[in-house]
Structure 1
Amino acid sequence: MSELSEDDRAAVSELRGAVMRLSRRLRHQRVDESLSPTEMAVLATLARCGSATPGELARKEHVQPPSMTRIVAMLEAKGLVHREPHPEDRRQVVVSRTEQADAMLAESRVKRNAWLAQLAEGLTDEERAVLREAAPVLEKLAHL
């Protein structure tokens, strides 16, 4: 693997800062203010990856299992997830999203997309073209 040039390292640093600022601003475009960013992330993980045990969710969200147990309990109390016995290991449970969670996530996506689209209106045609080309690259980075 080749080492990054000084220009590439500077670009990576600039990208990191920009992505963090944009991410922070996006997190504030929430439909349900009663949910923490971590709770929203758990619901998004369930939407993206499907049902999972609390342990699997803890690993995916990089939190300790006892913390995930509390998060799942709060989401369940809000009617956003339900727990069922694990089909192969009755000592465990499987967490799934509810229709209410799916509706909230869909509404949240619409709100965040509208907010981003409004920001994109302030870009030039050339900047929007760069953004269209950059989107797949950013998606790839997010999954490496």
Structure 2
Amino acid sequence: MIHPTVVSMVAAIRRRANEYMLRQLSDLGLEGLGPSHAGILGRLFQNGDMAMAEIAAAIRRDKSTVTTLVRKLEALGYVSRRKAPGDARKTLISLTPKGRALRPAYERISRELTELALEGFSSEERKALMGLLGRVRANLSLR
């Protein structure tokens, strides 16, 4: 019997989670949005306006990737970009009214996905799982 590696298991979980999110977004008629946009939207929901570099650091993606994702969100009308007052080198990203209107759907999908993923787990098991996954992430961060 072939045993999956930790990394392949995590990749499979991520793939299935992304498929779930895409189905949910499609069911809501939110075409064009994808799981890769969730980190940016979540940070903007939480923090309000943010600089492009701050978003990149917060979601652990390089700035060029975030720029591409933000451009897509802007084209879809969910965010706007503007130069920071007093520092033209800094680009601020803001949610538009259309973007702010996504928050309830974003929170519902996130909550339901978490509930689905952890269905049948006791609170002790959930805590242990998060601790173990945190250790795996930390181990990989050290290399």
Counterpart among 123, 126, 129 of residue 129 in structure 1: 123
Counterpart for residue 27 of structure 1: 18
How much identity, in percent, do the aligned residues show?
Answer: 23
Counterpart for residue 61 of structure 2: 62
Shift of 1:99: 3.4
Counterpart for residue 44 of structure 2: 46
Report the TM-score when normalising by structure 1: 0.61
More relative contact order, 1 or 2 (CA 8 Å, 6+ apart): 1
Once residues 104 and 133 of structure 2 are traced to their aligned partners in structure 1, the CA distance between those partners, rounded to angstroms, is 20
Once residues 110 and 128 of structure 2 are traced to their aligned partners in structure 1, the CA distance between those partners, rounded to angstroms, is 19
- Once the two structures are superposed, the pairs formed by residues 35-114 of structure 1 within 5 Å of their partners are 35-60=33-58, 61-65=60-64, 67-114=65-112
Matched position secondary structure for 1:28: helix
Gaps of 5+ in 1: 1-12
Report the TM-score when normalising by structure 2: 0.61
The 10-residue stretch of structure 1 (89-98 or 109-118) with the greater mean CA deviation from structure 2: 109-118
Q: Give the letter aligned to residue 63 of structure 1.
A: D
Shift of 1:74: 1.9
Contact kept in structure 2, 1:29 and 1:112, CA below 8 Å: no
Contact kept in structure 2, 1:54 and 1:69, CA below 8 Å: yes
Contact kept in structure 2, 1:83 and 1:94, CA below 8 Å: yes
Gaps of 5+ in 2: 139-143
Query: Which of the pair has more CA radius of gyration?
Result: 1
C-alpha spacing 1:114/1:70, structure 2 compared with 1 (3 Å): closer
Matched position secondary structure for 1:92: strand
Shift of 1:52: 1.9
Task: Return the structure number with greater strand share.
Answer: 2
Superposition RMSD on alpha carbons, in Å? 3.4
